[in-house]
Amino acid sequence: MTDTPSWDAADLARRLAENAEAVCRHYLSAGRRHGNYWLVGDVHNTPGRSLYVRLHSGLDGRGRAGKWTDGATGEHGDLLDIIRESLGLVDFRDVADEARRFLCLPQPQPRPASDRGRSDAFGHDASPQASGTANAARRLWAMSRSITGTQAEAWLRQRDLTCLTDLASLRFHPDCYYRADADSPTETWPALIAAVTDFEGHVTGVHRTWLARDGRGKAPVAIPRRAMGDLLGHAVRFGTVSDVLAAGEGIETALSIREVMPDLPLAACLSSAHLAAMTFPPTLRRLYVLRDDDPAGDHAVATLLARTQEAGIECLVLSPRLADFNDDLRYLGRGAMRAILHPQLAPQDVAQFLQSVAH
């Protein structure tokens, strides 16, 4: 019988510890060596000296190589945790695949169907449908940075979206992990990362749009958009809601409205189902629904009309001339968009949100 390595977590952690300095130089590149330790700010590779990783085990057997402690937070772990946190990974399988790649070890054979859906080493269901907790979403958000000068900014500008300042809900990750399904290889692509938040601004999930490396389109993958975390009732938000809100499905749809009404609070709910099930802010008095011209969009509109009527909220539907408002923006222009929106808005909102930016 062939002697096949198990490649379990303990074995990977041991192999990484044998190469602790190389691991730190690769995944914690913002740090530096000081004696028998690698010093860095935190597990997300922030410059600093709070976190220290032991590079070699002590001669007396105490102090194992690869173990780390963050003096500021008290967090501790091994080098598998460093890989997971520094890259914002979710499932142990992704962490293990990355560790094997770094160590030049063979990847395992695809799991049999009977194994799919079982919990991974972190306690998550290993199926792609169940991967992506709110905590994992927050880790990925913390790992991301400003979109300025990135492929994410190039992608948005290609969609004729130019009002890109004060977009606190959008960030960029240069090497966001992607896997088409549980048995496909892991890839990395640049990605636009959008924060899904509750009314208090707490991140409950993220939405990822994987991008081509030059930013001129989406990445050539099977499913270039995915959300993870706690999404129901939450949204990607632009602006602070008072008594008026416009809500739609897509991020680009909401940003297109922002081009001509920059002061109107907006929410992108990410799908027609989540739009239909959106939670109404307690101060909301008038809801604009940004309708997509398709059957799913029509269903969301009908559901929200009924729900807002029960809640005593005025509901007005904003319909694009083309398939969606980003198409209107790109192919018809801002002037045409203002003309399309003007008769669909409440008169007081024309004065407050539309006319003030008309030119």
pLDDT tens-digit series, residues 39-62: 999 888 888 888 999 998 876 556
pLDDT for res 103: 81
Six-digit token string for 74: 């008290």
Q: Which of 167-171, 225-229, 344-348 has the lowest mean pLDDT?
A: 225-229
pLDDT value at 219 more than 50: yes
pLDDT for res 126: 33
Higher-pLDDT residue of 173, 179: 173
List the one residue out of 183, 189, 271, 181 whose CA is nearest residue 222: 181
Does the model's pTM come out above 0.85?
A: no
pLDDT value at 123 more than 70: no
pLDDT value at 119 more than 60: no
C-alpha to C-alpha distance for 303 and 309, rounded to whole angstroms: 10
Architecture of domain 132-354: 3-Layer(aba) Sandwich (3.40)
Higher-pLDDT residue of 308, 292: 308
pLDDT for res 68: 93
Residue 246 CA, distance from chain mean position: 22
Q: Which of 171-175, 228-232, 245-249, 292-296 has the lowest mean pLDDT?
A: 292-296
pLDDT for res 7: 46
pLDDT value at 198 more than 80: yes
Q: Which of 94-108, 138-152, 188-202, 241-255 has the lowest mean pLDDT?
A: 94-108
Q: Does domain 9-104 have CATH number 3.90.580.10?
A: yes
Q: Which of 119-128, 250-259, 345-354 has the lowest mean pLDDT?
A: 119-128
pLDDT value at 131 more than 90: no
pLDDT for res 291: 92
Q: Which of 31-35, 61-65, 182-186, 318-322 has the lowest mean pLDDT?
A: 61-65
The listed range with the strongest mean pLDDT (72-81, 181-190, 241-250, 270-279) is: 241-250
pLDDT value at 122 more than 60: no
pLDDT value at 132 more than 70: no
pLDDT for res 298: 86
pLDDT for res 254: 97
pLDDT value at 20 more than 60: yes
Tell me the domain boundaries of the chain. Answer: 9-104, 132-354
pLDDT for res 3: 35
The listed range with the strongest mean pLDDT (12-21, 62-71, 279-288) is: 279-288
pLDDT value at 116 more than 50: no
Q: Tell me the pLDDT band of 296, cut-offs 50, 70 and 90.
A: confident
Higher-pLDDT residue of 78, 107: 78
pLDDT value at 238 more than 80: yes
Residue 25 CA, distance from chain mean position: 26
Higher-pLDDT residue of 111, 230: 230
Q: Tell me the pLDDT band of 337, cut-offs 50, 70 and 90.
A: very high
List b or e across 198-237, with b for residues whose CB sees 16 or more CB atoms inside 10 angstroms: ebeeebbbbbbbbbbeebeebbebeebbbbbbbbeebbbb
Inter-residue contact 151 to 157 (CB < 8 Å): no
